[in-house]
Amino acid sequence: MTRISESTVRRLSHYYRVLEEVEAEGGRLISSHRLAEREGVTSAQVRKDLSCFGSFGRRGLGYNVAHLRQEIRAILGLDRRWRVGIVGIGNLGTALMLYRGFEQQGFDVVAAFDRDPARVGRTLGGLVVRDIAELPLVAGDGGLDLGVIATPLKAAQEVADALVACGVRGILNLAPRKLFVPEHVALRTVDMTVEFETLSFALTNLAPPARRRRPRG
C-alpha cells in the first residue's frame, strides 16, 4: 500500500460525514459523483482516495452507503473509542469540554488539567479539573490516547513534552505555534490566528466582486 497523503485522510473524514447523512436520509447507493459534489471535490478525487484502501464500489452502480461508511470508519480507526485529555481549561478548553459532539464520533473526554489552583478542583461537564502534575497518573500506561493543548502559548511546548513523556501518541494543539514532538507522535495544530490572517490576506489581495457600475466611472 502506497503512502497515504494527509489530504486524502482529511477527505475521508469528510466523506464519512456525508455518508452518515446520506444513510440517515435513507440512501442505499451513492455514486462518486454525488459524494463528490456534496463536499466540493471531483468524482475522480473520491475514487482515487478510496482506491488507496481497496475497491469498495460496483461498476455501473456506485457504492453501498452503509458498507462504504463502515469501511471508512475502520480505515479512520473509528471502530474503537479514544480517551482524550484536555490540558488548559481556559475559555477554549472549557468550550471543548462542554461540547459533546466529539463523543458521537468516538472521542471521550476523560480528563481535564490546568496549572492554575483557582481552576483545579472545579467540576466541568462532569469532570473534575486536575492539577497538571497529576498528568502521569492519568495518562501513564495508556490511560490517555490523545491530548488537546489549549494552554497559553508559553506553556504549550512544555505540555506537549509532558504528554509525550506519558506515552500519549496523538496531540491536537490549539496554541498558536508549531510544536516539536518525536516522529512517532502524531500532531495536528489548529491555529485560529493563522485562519484569520489568511482571510485578511485574501480580502486584501483578492479583487472585490465586479460591480455593475464603478463609482465615479
Q: Does 203 bind its own copies (CB under 8 A)?
A: yes
Cα–Cα distance, 147 to 135 (Å, whole number)? 10
Region near its own copies per CB under 8 A, out of 61-69, 112-120, 127-135, 207-215: 207-215
Q: Does 64 bind its own copies (CB under 8 A)?
A: no
Instruction: Give the count of residues interacting with DNA (CB under 7 A).
Output: 27
> At its nearest, how many Å lie between its own copies and the CB of residue 67?
19
Q: Does 58 bind DNA (CB under 7 A)?
A: yes
Question: How do 123-124 and 127-131 pair as beta strands?
Answer: antiparallel
**Site for DNA, residues 85 to 114, rule: CB under 7 A:** none
Cα–Cα distance, 105 to 37 (Å, whole number)? 23
- Which one of its own copies, DNA, none interacts with residue 42, CB within 5 to 8 A by kind? DNA
The correct pick among 60, 117, 126, 217 for binding DNA (CB under 7 A) is 60
Instruction: Give the count of residues interacting with its own copies (CB under 8 A).
Output: 65
Q: Does 94 bind its own copies (CB under 8 A)?
A: yes
SS (H, E, C) 51-93: HCCCCCEECCCEEEHHHHHHHHHHHHCCCCCEEEEEECCCHHH
Q: How far is CA 159 from CA 24, 35, 144, 171, 203, in A?
A: 40, 40, 14, 10, 35
Residue 38 or residue 122: which is nearer to DNA going by CB?
38
CB 67 within 8 A of CB 17: no
